Structure 1
Amino acid sequence: MIDFDEPFSGRAALAAGVVTRHRLARDFVHLHRDVYIRRGIPATPLLRAKAAWLWSQGRGVLAGVSAAAVHGTRWLDPDAAAELVRSDHVRSAPGISVRRAPKLDTCVVDGMFATTPAQTAFDLARRMPFDRAVETIDALCNATGLKVPEIEELATRSKGAHGIGAVPRVLALVDGGAASPPETHTRLLLVRAGLPPPETQIEIFDGEVFVARADMGWKQWRVLVEYDGVQHWTDPTQRTRDIDRYAVLPELGWTVIRVGADLLYRRPEVFVERVRRALGAAGAPV
């Protein structure tokens, strides 16, 4: 049965008698050669990956952002072209970037060949702008449970690969605990300011009772940093939870530095100085 909310073969739909040529032209968007989807379905990296796989007729391997998408990675650029690796000479198509590559580590996800999470991370580290690579690999690790040593092991086996010089520097800053690009940006800002690298997803207990999980911080000095996204202000349940825990954490000896988009992106020096002062007051060598 054809799911019109997913990319599908127009030829197969016509042969099955579930659409007419008139309806195919009227109600569906032509994505690629013989690939259609119901009109009004928003494009996502996952949808683009599935459409590219269908376009390739199963003769390729999803890679880069497309592999990241099928592995469940969030926060990907919705406008990025799908990425396929082929062993033969095939030209790229509008919205699909095709490249040749030597043997890659691959797996099957929902019936599609894709690079493994480790291979995907290795490729992103070599090909993406530095900060975006860290953000995307953070999200990939968060989605799949991938660990940095797995990527490093693959890099060791891939000496001489194009762009490999960037990989160690990217991986040195990857942390799968980051739950969003702003959290990654926050962590990178603190590290680049010369502060000790923070630990992510810190769990706080009052005795044996779980109190909160903080975005990042330093257990040794009991200093936490929390990124307040939009949901912290628009979701009543989240807002109530925040009020409760921000009242309890200082009582347990934790200092909490909160940061939002305005402070992070427009006044980063103010935020960094607040964290530096809190760490210094707690005895950190800053």
Structure 2
Amino acid sequence: MGNCRRNRADLLAGLGPEPFLVRDAVARGFTPRQMRHSALTAPYSGVRALAFGGDSLVERALQYLPRLREGERFSHATALALLGCAIYVEPDAPIDVESQPGTTPVRARGVLGHRAARESPPFLLSVPETDQLVPVSPPQTALLQGSARLPFTEVVVALDALIRETEARFDPSVAVRLEDVQALLDASSGRRGAARLRCALGLARIGAESRMETLTRLAGERVGVTGLKLQLVVVDRDGRRIGRFDLADERSRVLFEYDGEQHRTSRTQYLRDLDRLERARDAGWSVRLFHAEEVLAHPDRAGRRMLLATGRSPRPVPVQIRRLLGEWPSPLTVSALPRKSK
């Protein structure tokens, strides 16, 4: 291949779009000088990449993929993010890499190395951003690992995502059953994160379709609003379907909806939702809308609005749950998932 100067198209044709090890490229005939080409980035020592897409936790993990050694896998919060859980992390959160027992944990810039307590096979995951199978901790194990380090509300967000009855982002094999998590907890008494995961399991619900739906529900839980129905299908007085609603109190006939960004960016969606809300009111339901600014910055106020709307008396919140639900998302955290392409 010689030492001739190559443009980006030449490099892409010769190396492909996936991150790669410098030593592998040199073995194929590329020169060290070509590895310093301006079209290449160096996300980790010994790694180069052409298609640097972003700096989310998921994308940074995939850039590390060529450096994974035999038996290593992504774990903890990194595994949960790769599994599609819409958790939020610190902007500079390191990626988590777990090594097998008897081996030295990874030590590298931007990487937090862990050593597994016992040997177990990895869960091979297919993710949209790469053609390679990505080794991660099994979903239930990742939940237990993440529970020891993540803020409590992020653990509930991850649980809600993994017990979802349908999974849009990844293969349905990543979904877990509540009884699977319970079985893991029964076998993990005393392990780090087990007590927190047990509390999160008591608050997890099948049916949440987004991170903000979970957080809206947890805002209610903070002040004692419990037992809301998720994704209730509402019909009109003639039995015709109106649509599904995020949260509902059937006794007081109150619907709670998280009003997301898509309702403002899509005129079609906005008009469709206006019609749906009006029809629900005509059918005898009261509707309360919540926005991210209120739920994230003033969760207790959002919870009290829910309480007032239902006319309920608040149920006492156990001290431990109230303390854990105080671990609310920081405004400084960012999504662990890649930004959606427009």
Q: TM-score normalised by the shorter chain: which range applies?
A: 0.7 to 0.9
Aligned to 1:21: 32
Identical aligned pairs, as a percentage? 26
Instruction: For 1:1-286, list aligned pairs within 5 A.
Output: 4-17=16-29, 19-25=30-36, 26-38=38-50, 40-77=52-89, 79-87=92-100, 88-103=103-118, 104=120, 106-110=122-126, 111-142=133-164, 143=167, 144-206=174-236, 209-280=240-311, 284=312, 286=314
Distance apart, 1:187 and its partner CA: 1.0
Contact 2:99 2:115 in 1 (8 A): yes
Q: For residue 99 of structure 1, give the secondary structure of its aligned residue in structure 2.
A: strand
Q: Structure 2: which 5+ residue stretches go unaligned?
A: 1-12, 127-132, 168-173, 315-342
Contact 1:2/1:8 (<8 A) preserved: no
Letter paired with 1:274: R
Secondary structure at the aligned position of 1:172 is classed as: helix
- Using a 3 Å threshold, how does the CA distance of structure 1 residues 188 and 3 change in structure 2: closer, same or farther? farther
Given the superposition, is the C-alpha separation of residues 275 and 91 from structure 1 closer, same or farther in structure 2, using an over 3 Å criterion?
Answer: closer
Cα distance change on mapping 1:5 and 1:66 into 2, 3 Å:
farther
The Cα of 1:74 is off from its aligned counterpart by 3.0
Provide the rounded CA distance (Å) in 1 between the counterparts of 2:14 and 2:213. 39
Q: Distance in 2 between matches of 1:191 and 1:276?
A: 10
Normalising by structure 1, we get a TM-score of: 0.86
| 1:285 shift after superposition | 5.1
Where relative contact order (Cα < 8 A, 6+ residues apart) is larger, the structure is 2
Contact 1:4/1:37, CA 8 A, preserved across alignment: no
Cα distance change on mapping 1:166 and 1:239 into 2, 3 Å? same
Moved over 6 A (4+): none
SS in 2 for 1:73: coil
- Unpaired runs of 5+ in structure 1? none
**Structure 1 residues 271 and 89: CA distance shift in structure 2, 3 A:** closer
Cα contact 1:52–1:84 (8 A) shared by 2? no
Q: Which has the higher strand share?
A: 1
Q: Is the 8 A contact 2:152 2:200 kept in 1?
A: yes
Determine the C-alpha separation between the residues in 2 that align with 1:193 and 1:39: 46
CA distance in 2, matches of 1:168, 1:100: 23
State the one-letter code of the partner of 1:278.
A
* Count of residues in correspondence between the two structures: 282
* Stretch of structure 1 that moved more, 105-114 or 125-134: 105-114
CA RMSD for the aligned pairs? 2.6
1:228 Cα offset (Å)? 0.6
